[in-house]
Amino acid sequence: MRSNWIIFALAASAMAQTPGRKLDFPVDSPVLAVSSDWSETKATPRGGAYVLDVHAVLSLRNASQKRIRGVTLSVLAQEVTPGGKGSVSVPSLDVAPGESFPLRIDLPLLCPLGAGGPMVEVKLDGVLFDDLTFYGSDRLHSRRTMTVWELEARRDRKYFKNLLETAGAEGLQKEVLTGLDRQREHPSAGVQMVRGRSTNTDPEREVQFAFLQMPDSPVEPTAGSARIAGNEARAPHIRVQNRSDRPVKHLELGWIVKDQQGREFLAASIPSDVNLAPGKSGAVTQDTALKFSERTQIDGMTGFVASAEYADGSYWIPTRGELNDPRLRNIVAPSPEEQRLLQLYRKKGLNGLIEELKKF
């Protein structure tokens, strides 16, 4: 009898940590939540904390008159990480008006004892349509990221379709197999990042960036450096010049790190609001520290322009030819659309991929 009470108390304690949840979509939202299932959510006590596995399966319906290309939902758990947010984005969609599509959210949360029961809130951050118009609060800058994904998707579909026309099914298959190999061997290193000033007391040295030139890029990086101490890099500072005839308001640079064994991997992207008039120069500076695994000693750094947004709201992204640079090919991950097409090839074969390309 007594043990029953203990089990009941433990169960009640665990249940007390099960998060509350809230789905918050605007009244005029072009996406409606048809149903949501949170039944697989569970809480497990572990040491001095609770591990919460929040699982939700949402069914969303396109309530607009346009085809939807992408959706981003923001996820907040204020009591777990105050001020911190999460998001779930689905790019490369093609949802017609009135159609429904599923969206799954899995949130592993670690909640310290005594923090109170967390509240998980899911909000609509943005919806991108096929005419590149956007709806949403855009608190997470999802308009920019989803637009870039959509432009990359159009570029990659066009590339594969051209390949099919010029080199035939055999040429397309060869390119897809190369892409699968590249995806399998894509180097990824564990990295921790913290913003703000560093308190590292190790002796630092300043390492200069080398740059990969992209002939079509509207912005050219001219010089740059970062502070390096062992396996930690911080405070990148890069000079850039707008060589186009249009003002550029936002820029994203890629930051490649080479370790002492000569292996290169994409350490981070450096987004920055630059507001560069034509012909003008400016600086991209981030007060950020990156820390790699203990075994990684930073030996060199390379930068490249990953995307740019003009002041008029249009974008520049690298061409497939520029991404075929031998150094970039194995470091930059395929676009979400290329990842989708490669998986379709795996699942449905070459004919399935060709049928998919014909839809667009």
Partner 1 sequence: MTRHVNQTGLALYASGDVSLWQRASIGLHVRQCERCRERVNQFRNDAKALRVVSAEIPEGVDWARLSAEMTANIRVGLEAGECVAPRTHRKSWRIPPIWRPAAMAAGVMALLAGAWWLNMPAQDAKSLNRVLQALTHGPNAALDDRGPVIEASPEGIELRKDGGALGVAQDSAQLLTVSVSTQGSASAHYVDQDTGQVTITSVYAQ
- Cα atoms in the Cβ-side hemisphere of radius 13 Å centred on 69: 23
CB-nearer residue toward partner 1: 183 or 246: 183
The structure tokens listed for 101 are 């599509």
Backbone conformation region of residue 89, classed left if phi is above 0, alpha if psi is from -120 to 50, else beta: beta
Closest CB 196 distance from partner 1, rounded Å: 5
**Dist. CA 344–CA 69, nearest whole Å:** 18
**Dist. CA 74–CA 90, nearest whole Å:** 12
CB-nearer residue toward partner 1: 90 or 124: 90
Closest CB 45 distance from partner 1, rounded Å: 11
**What CA–CA distances, in Å, run from 194 to 46, 94, 102, 234, 304?**
26, 37, 34, 9, 22
CB-nearer residue toward partner 1: 30 or 236: 236
Closest CB 48 distance from partner 1, rounded Å: 6
Closest CB 269 distance from partner 1, rounded Å: 5
Length of the chain: 360
Closest CB 223 distance from partner 1, rounded Å: 18
Closest CB 250 distance from partner 1, rounded Å: 11
Q: What letter does residue 317 receive in the DSSP assignment? A: -
CB-nearer residue toward partner 1: 104 or 278: 104
CB-nearer residue toward partner 1: 96 or 278: 96
Longest dimension (CA), the chain: 81
CB-nearer residue toward partner 1: 89 or 244: 89
List phi, psi (to 5°) of 57: -120, 115
Pairing of the two strands 205-211 and 298-310: parallel
